[in-house]
Amino acid sequence: MVDLALKGEAVPVSKPADRADVLKRLRLNDLVFRVLTRSAAVAVLIILGGIIISLVHGAWPALAKFGLGFLVSDSWNPVTNKFGAVAPIYGTLVTSAVAMVIAVPIGLFIAVFLTEICPMWLRRPIGIAIELLAGIPSIIYGIWGLFVFAPFLQQYVQPFLIDVFGNVPILSDLFAGPPYGIGILTAGLILAIMVLPFITSISRDVFAAVPPVLKEAAYGLGCTTWEVSRYVVLPFTRVGVIGGVMLALGRALGETMAVTFVIGNAHRISASILAPGTTISATIANEFTEAVGDLYTSSLIALGLILFVITFIVLAAARLMLMRLNARVGR
């Protein structure tokens, strides 16, 4: 610049008009980018809207034909074109319930271990290993469940359950019948393994967010580690833990491939959890490409709509709880 000035050449000074041009261009750029990002954000909403509209549209023939009866009928007969959703809904709820009964306590205990008694240097590796369980694709759980886990259950676990509970009044119905290997219980167990990491990682995070002062105060009173976890940490983090559990439940309800492999795909409701059954997602996965006739296809889409509504409610509740928690922590 100095050189230029010494040589007597004019330093290019932008004219006010150029400056205005540049500013105008930048302003336009800004506007375009802003509108672009905003429409992308709206597109996320459109995806959800599209899912709901297309499912309702696809399910309409079945819903119009069967009405509310679709929700209470347990027949599923492609030959006579009679469809009802009770058996798959029942299977979905029961497998998820089995999964939660097993996964919630174990997940919480793992979180207690990771936050209270695990040596510092082991916390990260173990945490990552548990989270890797969530990273394994569900089809892997399916193939493993079918070839390894189901035969194992059939040979060792299920005969044992039948023997032990065979004479207990209510439980004998729950654990009745021949050991098939595949069935509701097997699907529930696989789901339990799959959702374990969700429960563990969320509870661990909320446990770790408990103010140390609270725990120290309890320890100062002479509480044991268990008492601190049970009476201080857990009540303090209740909302977060429930949120995490609901999130896991949402996953369990919608899980498809792992369940499809081991559920047995039988459209019936039996009292025994050892018997084969079906879930909404397994029914769709197994039958959709083979469904002949509009009513059959439409009934399957109606099942999908029911599944979406159920998981939407569960997941929305989970998110609302976790959001409430975040608001509290943020304050």
Partner 1 sequence: MALYDTRRRRNHLAMTLAIAATVFGLAWLVLILGELLWQGFSGLSLAVFTQMTPPPGSAGGLLNPIVGSLVMTVIAVAIGTPLGMLAGTYMAEYGRYDKLTMVVRFINDILLSAPSIVIGLFIYEVMVAQMGHFSGWAGAVSLAVIVVPVVVRTTEDMLILVPDTLREAAASIGLPRSLMIRKVAYRAARAGMVTGVLLAVARISGETAPLLFTALNNQFWSLDLNAPVASLPVVIFQFALSPYHDWQKLAWTGALIITLAVLALSIIARTLSATRKSS
Give the C-alpha separation, 302 to 280, whole Å.
Answer: 10
Region binding partner 1 by CB under 8 A among candidate stretches 10-18, 93-101, 102-110, 161-169: 102-110
117 binds partner 1 per the rule CB under 8 A: yes
Give the C-alpha separation, 206 to 222, whole Å.
Answer: 23
87 binds partner 1 per the rule CB under 8 A: no
137 binds partner 1 per the rule CB under 8 A: yes
Nearer to partner 1, 160 or 166 (CB): 160
From 5, 20, 21, 30, residue interacting with partner 1 (rule: CB under 8 A): 30
Applying the rule CB under 8 A, the residues between 55 and 84 that interact with partner 1 are 55, 57-58
DSSP states along 31-74: HHHHHHHHHHHHHHHHHHHHHHHHHHHHHHHHHHHHTTHHHH--
CB neighbours of 88 closer than 8 A, spacing ≥ 6?
Answer: 76, 267, 278, 279, 280, 282, 283, 303
Give the C-alpha separation, 95 to 242, whole Å.
Answer: 19
From 70, 76, 83, 261, residue interacting with partner 1 (rule: CB under 8 A): 261
Applying the rule CB under 8 A, the residues between 41 and 60 that interact with partner 1 are 41-45, 47-48, 50-51, 54-55, 57-58
Per DSSP, 320 falls in state: H
- Give which of 329, 279, 306, 320 is closest to 76, Cα–Cα: 279
From 69, 82, 138, 176, residue interacting with partner 1 (rule: CB under 8 A): 138
Nearer to partner 1, 122 or 171 (CB): 122
Minimum CB separation of residue 305 from partner 1 in Å reads 8
CB burial of 112-121 (b: ≥16 within 10 Å; e: otherwise) equals bbbbeebeee
Nearer to partner 1, 47 or 168 (CB): 47
Nearer to partner 1, 109 or 156 (CB): 109
CB burial of 253-274 (b: ≥16 within 10 Å; e: otherwise) equals bbbbbbbbbbbbbbbebbebbb
Applying the rule CB under 8 A, the residues between 177 and 216 that interact with partner 1 are 193, 196, 200
- Give which of 238, 147, 251, 152 is closest to 193, Cα–Cα: 251
Applying the rule CB under 8 A, the residues between 10 and 29 that interact with partner 1 are 26-27, 29
Q: Taking the mean position of all CA atoms in its chain, how far away is CA 197? A: 11
Q: Taking the mean position of all CA atoms in its chain, how far away is CA 151? A: 27
What is the CA angle 114-119-125, rounded to 5?
65
Applying the rule CB under 8 A, the residues between 307 and 326 that interact with partner 1 are 307-308, 311-312, 315-316, 319, 323
148 binds partner 1 per the rule CB under 8 A: yes
126 binds partner 1 per the rule CB under 8 A: yes
176 binds partner 1 per the rule CB under 8 A: no
Nearer to partner 1, 4 or 47 (CB): 47
Applying the rule CB under 8 A, the residues between 268 and 287 that interact with partner 1 are 281, 284-285
